[in-house]
Copies of this chain bind each other. A is one copy, B any other.
């Protein structure tokens, strides 16, 4: 087998795992970096082994290398390894045991407080701080940074899972971390070595033609493609011994009731209490 043929096989395998054999998009150029990105799976079980020395600094260097709006750098990250603190976070997140198991738990902060301290020291009021725009910039830039850290971690053989459930109780998260006003834990990230028992396949996603549009937004065949994806997710769930929900049922379960929001329907008032007026 030539190298080019081997590379084509890797690519078609990666696309088949991500989309199912019947929905492979006509992807073009490919390489090892893209293989790494395609192989992502969230892992919810960890061995206790610590991450190697200097890993945290490597991940943060990757994170800081992501773009940041106008170089404002309106995010921070807190590395948590203390078992008692991780247990408290697991509880906030509805008893997600992997937060206790993982050796390194990163809480990513939207952080306008550093810029505010700069303004205070320079005697300048930063008029843009109270606006939704500025909060959104901080949350988005934290996400860009965290995703780079995730890619770096996975390239080192580590596994990860994002923990949006930090937003179940951002006030308690702020208390546990001693956060100043103008900062908020936007999400957490477990980092560690996967417990082999927690291994699962790459999760299929919606067909590209439902997510990617050209020139204008234009829905076509969405119901048909959703049905195809429901079947794909059903087969995936059976193979991985997960609850046998279709995507349709999963979306309805997560989005139809306020109780499924686990308190996050209060986020708007909580964000204000944490020092983001989101005007």
Contact = CB atoms under 8 A, between A and B. Distances in A.
B258 A213 contact: no
Interface string A149-180: 01110011000011010010000000001111
How many copies of the shown chain assemble into the complex?
Answer: 2
B133 A136 contact: no
A57 to B, nearest CB: 4
Contact of A226 (B60, B118, B161, B213): B118
Contacts of A131: 261, 264-265, 267-268
Given A78-B213, A131-B261, A122 B64 contact: no
A124 to B, nearest CB: 5
Contacts of A81: 214-215
A262 to B, nearest CB: 10
A206 B15 CA distance: 38
A254 interface: yes
Contacts of A124: 252, 256
Contact of A218 (B27, B34, B178): B178
A121 interface: yes
Nearest to A33: B155
A77 interface: yes
A244 interface: no
Contacts of A14: 61
A195 B135 CA distance: 33
Nearest to A62: B37
Interface residues of A, number: 129
B156 A31 contact: yes
B187 A140 contact: yes
A38 to B, nearest CB: 5
A5 interface: no
14 contacts: A27-B61, A28-B58, A34-B62, A40-B65, A64-B206, A66-B147, A72-B254, A129-B255, A136-B267, A143-B144, A144-B147, A180-B217, A183-B217, A268-B279
Interface of A: 14-15, 18-19, 25-34, 36-40, 42, 52-58, 60-62, 64-73, 75-82, 85, 109, 114-115, 117-119, 121-122, 124-129, 131-134, 136-137, 139-140, 143-144, 146-148, 150-152, 155-156, 161-162, 164, 167, 177-180, 183, 186-187, 202-203, 205-206, 208, 210-219, 222-223, 226, 247-248, 250-252, 254-258, 260-261, 264-265, 267-268, 271, 278-279
Given A18-B61, A60-B212, 13 more contacts: A14-B61, A15-B61, A33-B155, A34-B152, A60-B208, A77-B213, A78-B213, A78-B216, A114-B210, A124-B252, A128-B255, A136-B167, A177-B215
